[in-house]
Amino acid sequence: MRLQRFLRSGRSIKQEPLFTVVKDITGFFPKDLSLYTRVFTHTSMEETDAEGKKINYERLEFLGDSVLNTIVAAHLFKELPQNSEGSLTLMRSKIVRRDFLNQIGEGLGLIHHLASNVPQENYGSDVHGNLFEALVGAVYLDCGFDACAAFVHKCMITPHVDLIKLHNKVLSYKSLLVDWFQKKRLRYKYDVVSDNGAEKTTYYKAKLWLDNKVIATARATNKKKAIEKVSKRAYFQFQNQIKSIQSRH
């Protein structure tokens, strides 16, 4: 739905539709609705305030990204007292990765409240994570760090973050393989070529060579995905031999 953009004179803040939306999503009473108006305004609206400054979620997204990283870092610092700096950094990257934030934002239904001149079907999946980060930024400014941390724990960390499962999650199969290849002094090479065939969509075919032999092939809609896909297929051929490397990741 398209939210009412500004407060009507003479109306209580609690009577505003945006007040109810924010309260239902966050679980607390918002104080400064102008912050949340920005959260739910897309750049395509081309709105500005009285000073000519743009009204959209991008600046709040920037702030929310930093606040979210701090909240997650504090959580990991407390819950993983034996982990090194490098291990904590890697664990944080597994939590604040883009696809996971997209899932959180989509689960909260944030896009349904976004005012935009762009049809919803034309958005990329990252809009969900962007809106979530913007909302985190708005909550931080409106209610402070402690309230923001409580919100992030309630909607993301407590229900969705399993540190045991995350410990074994692989962010990049290519990185694992290359690390192992280099340690074993093995010669490897990735080849990626266009492979459209009769299809209208552009595809790329990746081959992974090891000591002059193709050990895996894969196909995807861009080069990066094709390389990661072929790396994943190759990884499972050697997983028993590189468990020690995987455990450090």
pLDDT score recorded for residue 246:
45
Please give the pLDDT value at position 199.
65
Residue 1's pLDDT is what? 40
Question: Parallel, antiparallel, or unpaired: how do β-strands 188-194 and 213-220 relate?
Answer: unpaired
- 121 in any annotated domain: yes
Spatial distance between the Cα atoms of 69 and 208, rounded to a whole number of angstroms: 35
Catalytic residue among 16, 61, 133, 142: 133
Do residue 216 and residue 235 come from a single domain?
Answer: yes
Are both 41 and 153 inside the same structural domain?
Answer: yes
Rounded Cα gap, residues 91 and 96, in angstroms: 9
pLDDT at residue 10, rounded to an integer: 46
- What is the model's pLDDT at position 9? 45
Looking at the structure, tell me whether residues 106 and 199 fall in a common domain.
no
End-of-domain residue from the set 101, 136, 167: 167
Q: Among the three residues 167, 189, 209, which one is the final residue of a domain in this structure?
A: 167
User: What are the tokens at 214?
Assistant: 């193709």
Residues 77 and 126 in one domain: yes
- Whether 30 maps to a domain, the answer reads yes
3-state class (DSSP) for residue 54: strand
CA 218, CA 161: separation in Å to the nearest integer? 31
DSSP letters along 215-234, please? EEEEEESSHHHHHHHHHHHH
Residue 1 in any domain: the answer is no
- In total, how many domains does the chain have? 2
Q: What was the pLDDT predicted at 121?
A: 82
Last-in-domain residue among 111, 146, 167: 167
Catalytic residue list contains 47 = no
Q: What pLDDT shows up at residue 73?
A: 97
- For the question of residue 133 being annotated catalytic, the response is yes
The domain that contains 138 carries what CATH number?
A: 1.10.1520.10
Query: pLDDT truncated to tens, each residue of the chain (249 aa)?
Result: 444 444 444 456 766 889 999 999 999 999 999 999 999 999 999 988 888 889 999 999 999 999 999 999 999 999 999 998 988 998 999 999 999 999 999 999 999 999 999 888 888 889 999 999 999 999 999 999 999 999 999 999 999 999 988 887 888 888 889 888 988 899 999 999 988 766 677 899 999 999 999 999 999 989 999 999 999 999 988 888 776 544 454
Nearest to 5 by CA among 15, 17, 21, 14: 17
Same domain, 49 and 162: yes
Please identify which of the residues 47, 51, 61, 65 carries the catalytic annotation. Answer: 65
Helix or strand (DSSP H, E) at 55: strand 54-55
Range of the domain at 20: 13-167
Q: Is 22 inside any structural domain?
A: yes
